[in-house]
Structure 1
Amino acid sequence: MLEKALFSGESVNVEYKVEIPPNSDKYMKTVVAFANGRGGHIIFGIDDKSLKVVGIESDAIFLKIDAITNAILDSCEPKIYPNVTLQTLDDKTVIVVEIQPAPMRPYYIKSQGIVKGTYVRVAGTTRHAEAYMLKELILEGQNRYYDSEICKDLTEVQDDEIEKLCRDMKAIAIKNTLDESAKLAVRDITKNVLITWGVLKDVDGKILPTNAYALLTGQMLCQPVIQCAVFKGNTRAYFIDRREFDGPVQQQVEFAYQYVLEKINMGMQIKGIYRQDMYELPVDGIRELIANAVAHRSYLEPGNIQVALYDDRLEITSPGMLLNNVSIRKIMEGYSKLRNPAIASAFAYMKIIEKWGTGIPRIFRECAEYDLPKPQLLDFDGDFRVNMYRKTTQTTQTTQTTQTTQTVVSNLSDLTDDDNVILNALLQNNRLTQREIASKLEWSVDRVKYYLQKLKKKGVIKRVGSSHNGYWDIIVK
């Protein structure tokens, strides 16, 4: 594991320190960030800029290990129990501190308090947890869900309002059921079903709305919207068209889905003697991606879902980092962890999504059947993004041979989270300078230079023109 981490550089779950700082707060932020996230390793004795193994002096090294362990136990609340070991790299000794993801969230630096002392890991950097992140960590630590919490902006729900929501949801379920006999089998839902899902709550005989109810009826005080746009080219430099869809979230899914269908190309294929119209992208996959974004986004984060269509791709961005124990690899294998179980239950009933995690693997299969590139999943800068690539006639002019290009394509699966963060920034604007990338990502310039050089060596990008007036050519998308 360690040699692979050294080769890949720092990432969302690996951080290097050239030495043990006298002030433990220098690394304690990362300790609580790992505990609040998916865990990770802090490695003392590696230069984070050059990745050179410098090692830790062997004098009193076990006392240093004890000092690190005690500092973590004394500084963090709730207590964090690290696993501290010694490893040998390049004939030098480094100290490896492993922090496991922990359930009693949020974890914070005791001396700073819960508000100022809670940190999270975002795109390979440790950041102070914003207010919405802290709220989400508190709910997660108490095994509660934001969409199932009572909505403070609404009052007691009346029976006629409940009956209307039930009728509307059943109508959508029937509409989304293709088989005529299955339409007849769509069951009625009642107030008690909505209570079971968490859409409503019975408190001392009063039926109170949850945040899920407010979202499903479009009554949230700051009801989120889906922002849709078409851009010229492969960056966000020039708008062609843009729309926003508000109202109940289930309607937003349908409106955004229809918007994409209006903007992508329609072709045809011949099956036997019949002509069949066919969109350039798998329509079920488009719908699934938009619905998943609505069902799995963080509703504590104030941002909106964005559906952007470029010349080369459909890009869907959903606010909120991946939940604990969820990784891109697991998602691709069909793993699913619900962030909003009440909304997910309502969406599953309305045939908008299924809750078994098979959506993403199915989208990959559909893209393969359409002879499209594999979709790209990105966890970056506090958001989650999926790119579904279109067929393009444009060919990138490079000096590489076909064999080299095939090698690069096979190596794209080896990109780290930080590689993808850099690559995504360039896909949005390929004229960014190194300093502009550093400012955008809140990274050091040296760190940006390292990952750009790494991507250039892999043959994924190349620089065209001067450092100030040129641009980055994405050789393999």
Structure 2
Amino acid sequence: MARDTLFSGESKNIEYKITLPDKSEKYMKTIVAFANTQGGKLIVGIDDKTHEIVGVANEILFQLMDGIANAISDSCMPQIIPDIEPQTIDGKTVIIVSVEAGKNRPYYLKSKGKENGTYIRVAGTSRQAFPEKIRELEMEGARISWDELTCVGYPVSKEATEKLCSDIENFREKAGMAERSVKKEQLINWKILKQSEGQLLATNAYALLTSDYFPFSKTQCAVFKGTDRAVFLDKREFIGPIYTQIESAVDFVLRNIRLGATIDGLVRKEKYELPPEAIREMIINAHCHRNLLDESCIQVAIYDNRLEVTSPGGLYNGLTYEEVMNGHSKIRNRAIANIFSQMGLVEAWGSGIKRILNAAKEYGLPEPKFQEFDNMFRVELFRNNSMTESEKEAGESSEKVRRRVGEGSDIIRGYELSDTQKKIVNLLLYDRQLSAAKIAEQLGMGSRSIEKNIKKLKELGILIRHGSPKNGYWEVIDCGKKNNEDTE
């Protein structure tokens, strides 16, 4: 570690002591916390308030070093073996105690026991770990991924299994991947299902991919007025298989940001104010790397100046912020990550952060911000006003979209429409480029039924299709208003 980093102040990986406390427990918490998170260095001989290098007297230097080694050996479980060495800075000697991120987690103080003596680093402090964090540390130490464990009591049904296999095939096709037939045998190989004594058992990953079984498995999305969470403009909560949550959350964001457009001859070219690739990557990463032992849910928040995606759980198993930014990855949820890879949602391990950064750069946006705090990880993608006025006028703002949706009830009033037909109208008021397949997916219905209902809406004159099936869009007509104008 470079000198300017080592002596520029305390951080998640650096802690100073002007001298050793009389009770070793006061600094043993730091040693344990380093081992349980990303490792770090305890430096003795620096004032933690002024950062002044005070040094350690030469006559007691080696006595202190032996005392630190003995205290760590006597106080910590499992065994922590630090690197303890003196270093001379500006003519003064300090002691640097280096602790690596441990592999036999959780580490704790013998005197307090595992439940009360397990500590982790948060920012520049050592804090007692909550029970769910201790459970995750235990699984890290045992090399166990929670999503691969058996979901006791959750049934394996033929219908759910076939739908999951079919959805994986469809995602592969949309991603342009090689055609592959997916059956229950593949799900067993991928540790989504288990075989035991002739029976098929569900894993936690199977439950996450086929249902809303776990209450914490949901994606909360919201639009806020301004730059804080004081006033809601819109909010949705998506449940069900996590890959459908991802699709729904991405669609929610796209519906609630500006869609600019330019007219090139007869061709209308549309462009969102934020790169869809980055939006999708942020939400996929949140689901792929979240801590599934934490009962919080993933949150997607849209403000006037940014998009913010927050997932439960900090960086995993000793991974550092610097490593993440350099493309390194440690997989927290192995089964989910593997399925996402098979579906084409994940292209290459460790590439997600770089893809977000590159997409923002190509769009001319400020550099995205990545934060780890209070056992959460947050990514912020900043909006800007780079769109020209003509692009804004040819496109649509989120406020216009929300206003159109509010007008939906007026449009369909006076018609004897089914609930499905009303839902279709409101969906198309939100996003006029939705295909019948997309509408079917969002409503959880078959495409044929949606197509029949769309045909009826077209016959009533409520829907008009413009352009080709692939690149066209829907227009929702306020027939009641038109009829009133015709009779005046």
TM-score, normalising length: structure 1: 0.77
Please report the RMSD computed on the Cα atoms of aligned residues, expressed in angstroms. Answer: 2.0
The answer (yes or no) to whether the contact 2:238–2:248 under 8 Å persists in 1 is yes
Q: How many percent identity over aligned positions?
A: 47
1:244–1:112 CA distance, 2 compared to 1 (3 A):
same
The size of the alignment, in residue pairs, is 387
Query: Amino acid of the residue matched to residue 130 of structure 1?
Result: F
SS of alignment partner, residue 378 of structure 1: strand
1:170 maps to a residue whose letter is E
Q: CA deviation at 1:117?
A: 1.3
| Paired residues of 2:6 and 2:14 also in contact (CA < 8 A) | no
Residue correspondence of structure 1 range 49-198 to structure 2 within 5 A: 49-155=49-155, 157-174=156-173, 176-177=174-175, 185-198=178-191
Q: Distance in 2 between matches of 1:125 and 1:270?
A: 55
Q: 195-204 or 284-293, which moves further after superposition?
A: 195-204
CA contact (8 A) 1:153 1:220 kept: no
Q: Does 1:388 align with 2:388?
A: no
3-state SS of paired residue (2:338): helix
Q: In structure 1, what residue type is equivalent to 2:205? A: A
Cα distance, 1:223 vs. partner? 4.0
> Which moves more between the two structures, 133-142 or 85-94?
85-94
Assess if the C-alpha contact under 8 Å between 1:223 and 1:247 holds in 2: no
Change (3 A) 1:103 1:272: farther
Note if 1:245 corresponds to 2:244. no
DSSP-derived class of the 1:154 partner: coil
Amino acid at match of 2:106: P
Aligned in 2, Cα 1:331/1:272: closer, same or farther, shift over 3 Å?
farther
Q: Indicate conservation of the 8 Å contact 1:311/1:392, yes or no.
A: no
CA distance in structure 1 between the partners assigned to 2:283 and 2:264 by the alignment? 29
Moved more, 17-26 or 49-58: 49-58
Cα distance in 1 between the residues matched to 2:171 and 2:2: 51
1:39 is matched with 39
User: Equivalent residue of 2:29, what SS?
Assistant: helix
**By how many angstroms is 1:278 displaced?**
0.4
Give deviations 1:282-301, integer Å, cap 9, x for gaps.
11111111011111111111
Q: Which residue of 2 aligns with 1:363?
A: 356
C-alpha distance in 1 between matches for 2:349 and 2:63: 49
The one-letter code matched in structure 2 to 1:90 is: D
State whether residues 230 and 309 of structure 1, in contact with CA within 8 Å, keep that contact through their aligned partners in structure 2: yes
Cα distance in 2 between the residues matched to 1:217 and 1:223: 15
Q: 1:279 aligns with which of 260, 272, 280?
A: 272
The residue identity in structure 1 corresponding to 2:202 is P
Q: What's the CA shift string for 1:61-90, capped at 9, x where partnerless?
A: 211110110110111111111111112233
- Of stretches 34-43 and 336-345 in structure 1, the one that deviates more from structure 2 is 336-345
- The answer (yes or no) to whether the contact 2:44–2:96 under 8 Å persists in 1 is yes
CA pair 198-382 structure 1, distance change in 2 beyond 3 A: same
Shift in alpha-carbon separation, 1:163–1:282, aligned structure 2, 3 A:
same
The match for 2:219 among 216, 226, 239 is: 226
Q: Which residue of 2 aligns with 1:329?
A: 322
Separation (CA, whole Å) in 2 of partners of 1:358 and 1:273: 38
Q: Within 2, Cα distance between the matches of 1:41 and 1:334? A: 24
Read off the aligned partner of 1:310 and give its amino acid letter. Answer: Y
- Listed one character per residue, the Cα deviations across residues 238-269 of structure 1 (whole Å, up to 9, x for unaligned) are 22222211111111101110100010001124
Alpha-carbon spacing, 1:213–1:62, altered in 2? closer, same or farther (3 Å): same
**CA gap 1:6/1:165 in 2 versus in 1, 3 angstroms:** closer
* Alignment match, 2:457: none
Tell me, what secondary structure is at the counterpart of 1:228?
strand
Q: Check whether the contact 2:307–2:382 (CA below 8 A) recurs between aligned residues.
A: yes
Once the two structures are TM-superposed, the CA of residue 333 in structure 1 deviates from its matched residue by: 2.7
Q: Secondary structure at the match of 2:151?
A: coil
Q: Write the distance in 2 (CA, Å) between the matches of 1:285 and 1:167.
A: 27
Cα 1:226–1:8 change in 2 (3 A) is farther
In the alignment, which residue of structure 2 is the partner of 1:450? none
Q: Is the 8 A contact 2:216 2:295 kept in 1?
A: no
CA offsets 1:107-152 (integer angstroms, 9 cap, x no match): 1111211111111111221111111111111111111101101113
The answer to whether the 8 A contact 1:215-1:223 is kept is: no
Moved more, 298-307 or 199-208: 199-208
Deviations, residues 10-45 of structure 1 (Å, cap 9, x unaligned): 111101112101111001111111111111000111
Q: Which residue of 2 aligns with 1:302?
A: 295
8 A contact 1:312–1:392 mirrored in 2: no
300-309 or 334-343, larger mean C-alpha shift: 334-343
SS of 2:112's equivalent in the other structure is helix
Q: Is residue 372 from structure 1 mapped to residue 336 from structure 2 by the alignment?
A: no
Q: 1:289 — aligned with what?
A: 282
Q: Please list the CA deviations of residues 303-329 of structure 1 after superposition, one character each: whole Å capped at 9, or x if unmatched.
A: 111111111111111110101342333
The alpha carbon displacement at 1:273 in A equals 6.8
Matched, 1:213 2:206: yes
Structure of greater Rg: 2
8 A Cα contact 2:260 2:271, kept in partner: yes
Question: Match of 1:60, SS?
Answer: helix
The answer to whether the 8 A contact 2:140-2:317 is kept is no
Q: Distance in 2 between matches of 1:8 and 1:230?
A: 39
Distance 1:223 1:217, change over 3 A: farther
Cα deviations across residues 198-246 of structure 1 (Å, max 9, x unaligned)?
1111122221111101111124342421111112222222222222111
- Call closer, same or farther: CA 1:173–1:15 in 2, change over 3 Å: same
When structure 1 is superposed on structure 2, of 204-213 and 235-244 the one drifting more is 235-244
Q: Which secondary structure state, in structure 2, belongs to the residue aligned with residue 8 of structure 1? A: coil
- Alignment TM-score, normalising by the size of structure 2: 0.75
Task: State the 1:170 CA deviation.
Answer: 2.5
What SS does structure 2 have at the residue aligned with 1:267?
A: strand
**1:153 Cα shift?**
4.3
**Aligned partner of residue 213 in structure 2, secondary structure:** coil
Cα pair distance change 1:169/1:32, threshold 3 Å: same
| Aligned residue identity for 1:190 | K
Match of 2:458 in 1: none
Q: Distance in 2 between matches of 1:271 and 1:107?
A: 63
**Which consecutive residues of structure 2, in runs of 5 or more, have no partner in the other structure?**
387-488
